[in-house]
Amino acid sequence: MLSHTPDIERPEPRWPVIVAALAAVALHFALPAALRPGTPWLLAAVVLTLVIAATIFRHLGMHRQNAWASYGVLGALAIGLLYGIAALIVGLIMKTEGATQLLLSATVLWASNVIVFASWYWRLDGGGPNERERRDAHTRGAFLFPQMTITPPSSDVSLAEEEGWRPSFVDYLFLAFNTSTAFSPTDVPPLTSLAKLAMMLQSLISLTAVVVLAGRAVNIL
């Protein structure tokens, strides 16, 4: 028998990551046909179906199914991103893409890279949103946010514990944006091996899109 989601004092909103996923799908439509694994409508249909399924599972209290549907969304977006990067590298080597097309594609893939990894960080950190929203404060996870280390002068606990702070999707978007622009951690260092590998991969994709591909396209112009 299905159980409904228990009352949670401060539920973590899901709409920001849903909007981000739909934005990544929209960016997919801006890529040339050669940089997409099939029709973009296929990715849109898969993502939309899994988003609806994840939403239904969450409201029914089926947290494991909700998590797997969410992983499906992020996996589909990651496949589209990696395919686009690989195809763009091939197009650059084979000189099958024009300079303007290279610039547009590199920009789209860079933006997709930020969105996709921000969504992965949001899903994986601290056991995921289903676990984080059951805690009073975010004191442990895959990333060390400043709120977890700052201790107010009049307190013996961290700012996160004192104010009941938990990261939102914007925090993970900020983390992903900094990783793509600085190619390294800034104010939020990774703590786990998986987080470090994910940030390394994101930096590599960003470096490829920005330095190699966009730089080459500018030289061609």
Which pTM value belongs to this model? 0.88
Q: pLDDT tens digits for the chain (221 residues)?
A: 333 445 677 888 899 999 999 999 999 998 888 888 878 899 999 999 999 999 999 999 898 999 999 999 999 999 999 998 888 888 777 776 667 777 888 889 999 999 999 999 999 999 999 899 888 888 889 999 988 888 877 777 777 887 888 999 999 999 999 999 887 778 899 999 999 999 999 999 998 887 766 666 566 65
Q: Which two tokens stand for residue 50?
A: 């899994």
Q: Which two tokens stand for residue 38?
A: 């099939």
What backbone torsions phi and psi does residue 149 show, to the nearest 5 degrees?
-115, -25
184: left (phi over 0), alpha (psi -120 to 50) or beta: beta
